[in-house]
Amino acid sequence: MASSFLTDAQRWRAVAGRDRQAGGAFLYSVRTTGVYCRPDCGARRPLRDNVRFHDSCADAERAGFRACKRCRPNEAGQGHRAAIAVACRVIGAAETSPRLDDLAATAGLSPHHFHRVFKAATGVTPRAYFLAERRRRVQVALTRRSTTTRALYDAGFGSSASFYESARADLGMAVRSYRRGGSGERIRYGLAQCSLGVVLVAASDAGVCAIALGDDGEALVRDLRARFANAELADDRAFRNQVAAVVAMVDDPAKARALPLDVRGTAFQQQVWAALRAIPAGATTTYAAIARQLKRPAAVRAVARAVATNALAVVVPCHRVVRSDGAMAGYRWGVARKRALLDKEGRKRVLLAKEAKKR
């Protein structure tokens, strides 16, 4: 376990014994050779006085060492794709989150190394992957089965108790909401005018779950009712502060991260939306670039679908995605609004750059 290699004495024993369990728990460098290695490297054992320990490749390289060509510590994740694929299947079929130690043992890695390799390969931690996969299974099952009980068993749960106990944490809403259009939920909403027309903001108890733009407020409300057909929808005057925050955000995108969000989607969709939120205001990217960023270069169409299903205008800035040739791609709330948002952000970025130069 990673906790077994916290001190230099423990780490040196692992290096001296070429302990495979140390895996990627740490790295060591050798002053006389100028290289850094994995603890189980098969190279000649160095003298203790020449050894330093590091927590990452970046740490070792900042100290001036280069990667060993024998154990290739900087390519540690490349040889574990099959093991990670197996782990994903195990996690995807599990009723409860598998123990990290068990997953690591299946992969033949230390828990610390497995955690690092898994996150590098999938973009999320094993725990986050489990929650997203369970959420996806439940959503699919609840839309296909006549009863919640049948749905949860079809989704891979062995009992209803654990399912209901963690349903809100996994789904961000009452479990029956996906099956019955929001039954059992109270969704507050409000309308306001903004520079892009009418904005509708809706929120569950967990946070803002919808931001829509349009020309007709009544049409936006109808769309919201269709999405949450059986929820209790309330035009709440006390909700106006959050509506005002969204209106202000349209003019100042930097305020987007201050809003509590109830983002609902599959693991892949959430990865895409997280990538969108990382794009600076005034900048743009492409579907292909996001696919490459997520290490799934062939998933350009899947990225495009995830962008198109975004229900949170501006706060999850799908307007910052353009085609590879720079042309405006489709936008759920109209290409004209997309162009207006990009123009607004571009002007502000230029203004901020000029102000920074003056300082």
Question: 186-258 belongs to which CATH class?
Answer: alpha beta
Mean pLDDT of the residues in the chain: 79
pLDDT confidence of residue 326: 79
Least confident piece of the model among 139-148, 164-173, 303-312: 164-173
**1-20 exposure pattern, b = at least 16 Cβ within 10 A, e = fewer:** ebebbeeeebbbebbeeebe
Question: 267-358 belongs to which CATH class?
Answer: mainly alpha
Least confident piece of the model among 20-24, 140-144, 223-227: 140-144
pLDDT confidence of residue 189: 93
Q: Measuring CA to CA, how many Å separate 204 from each of 154, 171, 185, 233?
A: 27, 12, 7, 10
pLDDT confidence of residue 312: 92
Residues of the chain with CATH 1.10.10.60: 80-179
Q: What residues are annotated to the active site?
A: 37, 318
Q: Report d(CA 307, CA 263) in Å as an integer.
A: 13
Please list the alpha-helical segments (H only) found in 108-239. Answer: 111-122, 126-144, 148-154, 160-171, 217-227
Question: 80-179 belongs to which CATH class?
Answer: mainly alpha
> Letter for the amino acid at 21?
Q
String of DSSP letters for 70-124: TT-GGGTTGGGHHHHHHHHHHHHH-SSPPPHHHHHHHHTS-HHHHHHHHHHHHSS
Residues of the chain with CATH 3.40.10.10: 2-75
With respect to CATH, is domain 2-75 assigned 3.60.15.10? no
**187-204 exposure pattern, b = at least 16 Cβ within 10 A, e = fewer:** bbbbbeebebbbbbbbbb
Query: Is residue 199 predicted with pLDDT exceeding 90?
Result: yes
What is the band of 145 on the pLDDT scale with cuts at 50, 70, 90?
A: very low
**pLDDT digit string, tens, across residues 26-84:** 789 999 999 999 888 888 889 999 999 987 777 788 888 998 888 878 765 555 667 77
**pLDDT digit string, tens, across residues 209-257:** 899 999 999 999 999 998 888 888 988 777 877 788 888 887 776 555 5
> With the C-alpha atoms ordered 302, 308, 311, 313, is the resulting torsion angle positive or negative?
positive
Residues of the chain with CATH 3.30.160.70: 186-258
Q: How many CB atoms lie within 10 A of CB 205?
A: 14
